Amino acid sequence: MEYFIGGTGVLLRGYAKEELQVVDVVSRLVRSANQAHVLGLRSVVLVPSDKDCGGTAEKVTPLLPEGTIVMDPFGDENSDVLNVGLDILRLLGLKRGLIMSNKAVAYLTPRNLAKMHEAFVRGALVAGLAVRDDKVSPAEDDMYQGVLQGRVTNTFALWERSVLCAVGDFDSKIGVEEIAPLTRLAQKHGRPFIAPIIPAGESGLDVSEHRLAQHQRIMTTKMQRQLAEAERAGGTFELIESMILPGYPK
């Protein structure tokens, strides 16, 4: 476990559209980075400058654990910004990138990390934790069901950085940036490589009041956008699901 932890970095994102949101966004970023630090993981905090009101990066920097890197890159917050983070992981010599939403920090536990890293021993190139919106039933939770069917989400996903880079990293402009690289990896490798992970314990998502309406809007359109993105990349949901490692989800 120590070997895997030492080769993994965490990518965190956060921005405040308005000044009054800065305190909440900073608090959430600090909480996530602190939890990662406790587990021995180094974090890169990404503040999309195109979205932020301008004060988040400056205010969060002095509050973060030692060794945390803060960047405020331009570009799409779901693709361009994450690609900057992946480049930083490369410069740090880290093999894997854990991309995590601050609303999913309760899932960042030793047991969940162990389950995800075990999947890489079994041949995974990406492992996605099937996090849950506990305000809806599992059957109605499209994100949860999608992860179980191989459509991992960067709400909580561990990627092999070099193979992600080899298929062009992220390039979606409709907020489902995971789907195109999953499709390209399927086309390139032609063998199962996706590990949907059942969380060790149901923690639920902690959605900020500032983002509640946005979260609900994103969830109601997620499957349609994933389908459009798979088609753009020349794939299908069925192709992605066929790439699930034997024995998974588990």
Task: Share the mean pLDDT of the chain.
Answer: 93
2-241: CATH, from 3.30.70.980, 3.90.550.10, 1.20.1540.10, 3.90.420.10: 3.90.550.10
Two tokens, residue 22? 């800065």
Taking CA atoms, 5 is separated from 8, 30, 34, 95, in Å, by 5, 20, 15, 10
Are residues 97 and 158 in contact, defined by beta-carbon separation less than 8 angstroms?
A: yes
**Angstrom distance (rounded) from CA 44 to CA 148:** 27
User: In the chain, count of helices (H) and strands (E)?
Assistant: 10, 7
- pLDDT (0 to 100) of residue 138: 86
For the chain, what are the domain ranges?
2-241
Confidence of residue 4 (pLDDT cuts 50, 70, 90): low
| Model confidence pLDDT, tens digit, residues 93-120 | 999 999 999 999 999 999 999 999 999 9
- pLDDT (0 to 100) of residue 141: 87
- pLDDT (0 to 100) of residue 139: 86
- pLDDT (0 to 100) of residue 136: 81
- pLDDT (0 to 100) of residue 191: 97
- Once rounded to an integer, what is the mean pLDDT over residues 164-192? 97
Give the CA radius of gyration of the chain: 17
| DSSP 8-state class, residue 69 | E
- Once rounded to an integer, what is the mean pLDDT over residues 25-42? 97
User: Does residue 214 surpass a pLDDT of 90?
Assistant: no
Q: What pTM was estimated for this model as a whole?
A: 0.95
| Model confidence pLDDT, tens digit, residues 42-85 | 999 999 999 999 999 999 999 999 999 999 999 998 999 999 99
The DSSP line for 165-183 is: HHTTS---SSS-TTHHHHH
Q: Which residues, 6 or more positions from 167, have their beta carbon under 8 angstroms from its beta carbon?
A: 181, 184, 185, 188
Q: Which residues, 6 or more positions from 218, have their beta carbon under 8 angstroms from its beta carbon?
A: 175
The CA-based angle 129-132-134, given to 5 degrees, is 165
**Angstrom distance (rounded) from CA 247 to CA 250:** 7
- Which tops the pLDDT comparison, 201 or 28? 28
- Once rounded to an integer, what is the mean pLDDT over residues 177-203? 95
Confidence of residue 3 (pLDDT cuts 50, 70, 90): very low
| Model confidence pLDDT, tens digit, residues 130-160 | 999 888 888 888 899 999 999 999 999 999 9
**Angstrom distance (rounded) from CA 29 to CA 46:** 10
Q: How many residues does the chain have?
A: 250
**Angstrom distance (rounded) from CA 134 to CA 131:** 9
